[in-house]
Structure 1
Amino acid sequence: MAKEILGKDNIELKVSLNSKEEAIRFTGNILVDNGYVEPSYIEKMLEREKVTSTYMGNFVAIPHGTEDAKNAVLETGISVVTVPDGVDFDGNEVKVLIGIAGKGDEHLEVLSKIAIVLSEEENIDKIVNTDSKDDIIRIFDEVN
């Protein structure tokens, strides 16, 4: 049976991070630790960030690997990290990090679901301020 794309183990709340690189590594390590990607995927996430920023606006960044990182993806999954005090992404403040790993083209479906959730500023506020991993899962599950 396939792993859950987003489970409680994939969520870290109210984390303090000091740099963009630390934020990307932290987000990627959740994916590694839970068996979604091989450790090499994190380097590809950092490589992607050098090519184009994964900052999306509204205090959100969505770090993910480059196209050639596909072979390091074991299962489709996402990690969610909240940073209420923010972390600097090249002059942009990020409070929600969502790491993505997708098998094949599955990441496109995951990305569209995430985009729908994050298009509502109210959802971003809820995600940043919650103390409950269940709340995060519920917010993402409400989108079909």
Structure 2
Amino acid sequence: MLLLKKTSKWLVYQGKAKSNYFNVLLKRESVGSTYIGNGTALIHGKYDEESLPASLSIIRLGKKVKWDEEHDVSMLLNFIPTDEKKADFAVLFKRIGKSIDNTEFWEKIISSDAVTMAKLFNEEFNL
């Protein structure tokens, strides 16, 4: 998956992941698609890197990209949980899962600037 490769390189460049993160993402994606709905994939994997902080990255793509056989995506949510923060991420996963059918919210997210997007996420998910 070219998109996962580019995303992992960007996350490494940003200091949010180690150089093996592409393999981590591929391993998770081989279990099943991380597409969650409304043009969004929630990419993640088991990633036990003690030297990195837990992070959530929101990656808005410039256009829709083929994700799997059935779906296109225009946004990726990337979670890098640590053992210390995995309970927090589990709560966030559940909150996102409950809101994925809220098309109005996701359309606002896709069309917002970065500051507004962060504000909307904070309000919707109590970050």
Shorter chain as normaliser: what TM range? 0.7 to 0.9
Q: Which has the higher contact order (CA 8 A, sep 6+)?
A: 1
Matches within 5 A, 1:104-119: 104-113=83-92, 115-117=94-96, 118-119=99-100
Q: Is the 8 A contact 1:96 1:124 kept in 2?
A: no
Hey, what does 1:92 align to over in structure 2? 71
Matches within 5 A, 1:72-87: 74-83=52-61, 85-87=63-65
Letter in 1 for 2:105: N
Q: Is the 8 A contact 1:38 1:73 kept in 2?
A: no
Hey, what does 2:39 align to over in structure 1? 59
> CA RMSD, aligned part only?
2.2
Q: Distance in 1 between matches of 2:50 and 2:72?
A: 29
- Identical amino acids, percent of aligned pairs: 24
Q: Distance in 1 between matches of 2:111 and 2:13?
A: 25
Structure 1 residue runs of 5 or longer lacking an equivalent are 1-20
Q: Distance in 1 between matches of 2:94 and 2:74?
A: 16
Go from structure 1 to structure 2 and tell me whether the alpha carbon gap of 1:92 and 1:30 turns closer, same or farther (over 3 Å shift): same
Q: Distance in 2 between matches of 1:38 and 1:101?
A: 11
TM normalised by structure 2 equals: 0.79
TM normalised by structure 1 equals: 0.71
Hey, what does 1:40 align to over in structure 2? 20
CA positional deviation for 1:39: 1.2
Go from structure 1 to structure 2 and tell me whether the alpha carbon gap of 1:43 and 1:134 turns closer, same or farther (over 3 Å shift): same
Aligned length: 121
